Amino acid sequence: MWTYVRDDRPAGDTAAQAVWFAYSPDRRGEHPHRYLEDFNGTLQAAAYAGFNRLYDSGRIQEAACWAHVRRKFFDLYEAHPSPITTEAPERIGSLYVIESEIRGRSPDERRRERQTRSRPLLTPLQSWLQESLTRLSRKSETAVAINCALGRWPALVRYCDDGLLEIDSNAAERALRAVALGRKNYLFAGSDSGGERAAAIYSLIGSAKLNGQDPEAYLRNVLARIADYPVTRVVELLPWNVASGVTEPDSVAITEHGFRL
């Protein structure tokens, strides 16, 4: 399941939120390349090699995820505490403190605060990682974690130059959590068509949750109405167009929203 999320609430945007799940029978990079063939802009995603082809032309810029970087060091700290694996999460945590304080502000304000407060932390962090690397075996797990961060440094610091961007891709991680938890109860979709249907249901449920609706109540509402609903107006039943608890068709609030990465 490939997960694409539009949620700009942290940047003060009040537009509707949405998540789109796309099913594929494997995880080859050709799938996101096909989904995003007409997209221009910044893709905020985890460090998956299958995405690399997307960035080759310069049409799409990469914004990397600090949560994944921090997680690598934190996992090492829990397994084998060391001065480096202790200090790295603390330094990254300081960046998150700033983010918590500017969440919900306008993109211009967020960019200004990041340039003033986050940039001065990132430059010495990069130097510290580079210096720490000289004291480690190149094959050590800590060295691998450092190299992963330094290898994507321009993408990791890109969020400072764009107030619309987040510091991480946790919005997609949260949306995908339902799939990860579900695997404990069911292992297979049964067929490719079953996977596509599952993706559609995940998209509806995830978007309902993002828009503050009870997914069960939303689906019950839609299923009770869709059989007699004009097919030309079915867009009115999408999660961001249906007010929670609405039962009458003429009470639907209509807005026009699209996905934006």
Per-residue model confidence as pLDDT tens digits over 30-60: 999 999 999 999 999 988 888 999 999 899 9
**Domain extent for 239:** 2-56+169-251
With a cut of 70, say whether residue 72 has pLDDT above it: yes
18 and 143: one domain?
Answer: no
149 and 179: one domain?
Answer: no
73 and 157: one domain?
Answer: yes
What integer best gives the mean pLDDT of the chain? Answer: 90
237 and 109: one domain?
Answer: no
- Of the pLDDT bands very low, low, confident and very high (cuts 50, 70, 90), residue 181 is confident
**What single string gives the DSSP state of each residue in 20-33?**
EEE--SS--THHHH
Residue that finishes a domain, picked among 131, 161, 191: 161
Q: What is the reported pLDDT for 252?
A: 35
With a cut of 90, say whether residue 261 has pLDDT above it: no
Residue that finishes a domain, picked among 101, 128, 161: 161
In eight-state DSSP terms, residue 252 is: P
Residues 6 or more apart in contact with residue 193 via CB below 8 angstroms: none
With a cut of 60, say whether residue 250 has pLDDT above it: no
Q: What is the reported pLDDT for 185?
A: 79
Q: What is the reported pLDDT for 247?
A: 40
User: How many structural domains does the chain have?
Assistant: 2
74 in a domain, yes or no? Answer: yes
114 and 47: one domain?
Answer: no
- Of the pLDDT bands very low, low, confident and very high (cuts 50, 70, 90), residue 183 is confident
24 and 72: one domain?
Answer: no
76 in a domain, yes or no? Answer: yes
The percent of residues in the chain predicted with pLDDT above 90, rounded, is: 79
256 in a domain, yes or no? Answer: no
Q: What is the reported pLDDT for 243?
A: 61
240 and 198: one domain?
Answer: yes
Mean pLDDT within 121-127: 98
Which residues is 44 bridged to in the sheet?
A: 63
The percent of residues in the chain predicted with pLDDT above 70, rounded, is: 93
38 and 89: one domain?
Answer: no
Q: What is the reported pLDDT for 180?
A: 85
61 in a domain, yes or no? Answer: no
pLDDT 10s digits, 14-34? 888 999 999 999 999 999 999
196 and 125: one domain?
Answer: no
91 and 27: one domain?
Answer: no
Q: Show the beta-strand stretches assigned E in 107-212.
A: none
Task: Say if residues 178 and 206 touch (Cβ distance below 8 Å).
Answer: yes
Mean pLDDT within 118-129: 98
pLDDT 10s digits, 184-196? 777 788 899 999 9
HSE at residue 237, side-chain half, CA atoms within 13 A, is 22
The token pair at 154 is 């321009």
82 in a domain, yes or no? Answer: yes
Q: What is the reported pLDDT for 36?
A: 93
**Residue listed under structure tokens 């299923």:** 223
Cα–Cα distance for residue pair 78/65, rounded to 1 Å: 21
Mean pLDDT within 87-106: 97
pLDDT 10s digits, 139-179? 999 999 999 999 999 999 999 999 999 999 999 999 999 88
**CA-based nearest residue to 142, from 48, 68, 67, 77:** 77
27 and 71: one domain?
Answer: no
Model-level pTM? 0.85
261 in a domain, yes or no? Answer: no
Residue that finishes a domain, picked among 129, 161, 193: 161
109 and 193: one domain?
Answer: no
